[in-house]
A = this chain, B = another copy of it.
């Protein structure tokens, strides 16, 4: 092994040890303006790598405009459009604000965000709650009255109840929740029913004691019952908190971020800090909820939720979630084959998150840019599918584009002072 290879391998070990040692604890659900450093009243955060208003896909634009109205900065969508055109709304990636956002990722000042504290490294991360089982939501790229009213409900009731319950219980250990939920068939991206159950069980005894109106607390518990995927955005914040301290390990080729803005897919690599490397957002192989929809009306892959694949979950572990594989019309052998690919592109296995059907082998952990390119296979990203004009229309999976990994490797090669 050449010196540089040994150096890279050692750096990669260091990067994954940092991620593996993370202790993400869900400690609150507070207004973004109150907790996200740098947040302002006229900032709207979005998913994926940086993108200008002009380049954004329609669902993301819809979400931005809806958020501007929701914040009371404009009275209607037309006024919101004028504000954006006038440059009065600051648009920035969630990732630049220690945050992640589902689908369009729209996050604005008044929205509640899950607050996750990585106790090991004292970093914080944020993610607005999943909007629930409705096909509408800023995340899904709608912005009608119903969408905006629902956003107010999340702000007025969901956030305060969760925040008070989390304070009462002293926080929820997400490292443990993730480990237990994998054992229960969650891949923790599109299937989060076990994690949502664990969270509900832990919060319910505290929610019952809160000095908040009964009807409000009841609606929050109904919301958590109605939406099996509720836990996803909590897990996303956990992922965001875990990867932060692993950024900037010199020489490391471990992927610390994967995110899509609907036009581009981007990654960050440990050895290169916060630089984005991008390629085109890919089409999603979808199962549509209705025969009226098909690939022609499906927007390309979008959202920061691929932070979960970055920490070895979701599309990396279909072998842990045959029920999700089944929803995609895959059998268990298909699921297993995909997970074997995931192992082949990773540095190692997680020491605590294990796949029961593989005799408790740790999940694949630490995507290595070199291995992805050697293997010639990129990570699978589990996802929901959004209509080109907004609205949830299916679930499915996309592959990350090679371009992002190729660009990252070229940049790493310069860092490593090797000729490709």
Question: Is A209 part of the contact surface with B, judged by Cβ < 8 Å?
Answer: yes
Which residues, 302 to 334 on A, are CB-close (under 8 Å) to B?
322-323, 326, 331-332
Question: Is A360 part of the contact surface with B, judged by Cβ < 8 Å?
Answer: yes
CA distance A187 to B94 in the complex (A): 41
Question: Is A38 part of the contact surface with B, judged by Cβ < 8 Å?
Answer: no
Q: List 29 A-B contacts (CB under 8 A).
A: A180-B193, A183-B185, A183-B323, A184-B193, A184-B194, A185-B185, A185-B356, A194-B197, A197-B197, A197-B198, A197-B200, A201-B201, A201-B221, A201-B225, A204-B207, A204-B225, A205-B218, A208-B208, A208-B214, A208-B217, A209-B218, A322-B360, A323-B356, A326-B356, A326-B359, A331-B359, A332-B357, A332-B358, A357-B357
Most chain B CB neighbours (cut-off 10 Å) among A196, A200, A202, A222: A200
Known contacts A196-B201, A197-B197, A322-B359; 20 additional CB pairs below 8 A are A180-B193, A184-B194, A197-B198, A197-B200, A197-B201, A200-B200, A201-B221, A201-B225, A202-B225, A204-B204, A204-B207, A204-B221, A205-B221, A207-B208, A208-B217, A208-B221, A322-B360, A323-B356, A326-B356, A357-B357
In the complex, how many angstroms separate the beta carbon of A362 from the nearest chain B beta carbon? 14
Most chain B CB neighbours (cut-off 10 Å) among A200, A201, A202, A209: A201
Which residues, 174 to 224 on A, are CB-close (under 8 Å) to B?
180, 183-185, 193-194, 196-198, 200-202, 204-205, 207-209, 214, 217-218, 221-222, 224
Contacts of A214 in B (CB 8 A): 208-209
Partner of A222, one of B205, B322, B357, B359: B205
Number of copies: 2
CA distance A196 to B204 in the complex (A): 13
Contacts of A221 in B (CB 8 A): 201, 204-205, 208
Contacts of A357 in B (CB 8 A): 322, 332, 357
CA distance A402 to B194 in the complex (A): 39
Task: Write the chain B residue with the least CB distance to A334.
Answer: B359
CA distance A194 to B322 in the complex (A): 16
CA distance A327 to B102 in the complex (A): 36
Closest 10 CB pairs of A and B: A197-B197, A322-B356, A205-B221, A184-B184, A204-B204, A205-B222, A204-B221, A200-B201, A201-B225, A183-B323
Contacts of A197 in B (CB 8 A): 194, 197-198, 200-201
Task: Write the chain B residue with the least CB distance to A330.
Answer: B359
Which residues, 356 to 381 on A, are CB-close (under 8 Å) to B?
356-360
CA distance A201 to B225 in the complex (A): 6
In the complex, how many angstroms separate the beta carbon of A293 from the nearest chain B beta carbon? 26
CA distance A322 to B361 in the complex (A): 12
Task: Write the chain B residue with the least CB distance to A321.
Answer: B356
A326-B360, A360-B326 known; A201-B184 Cβ under 8 A: no
Task: Write the chain B residue with the least CB distance to A356.
Answer: B322
Contacts of A358 in B (CB 8 A): 332
A322-B356, A356-B326, A359-B332 known; A208-B201 Cβ under 8 A: no
The contact string, 1 if C-beta is below 8 Å from chain B, for chain A 340-358, is 0000000000000000111
Contacts of A202 in B (CB 8 A): 225
Task: Write the chain B residue with the least CB distance to A359.
Answer: B331
CA distance A334 to B323 in the complex (A): 22
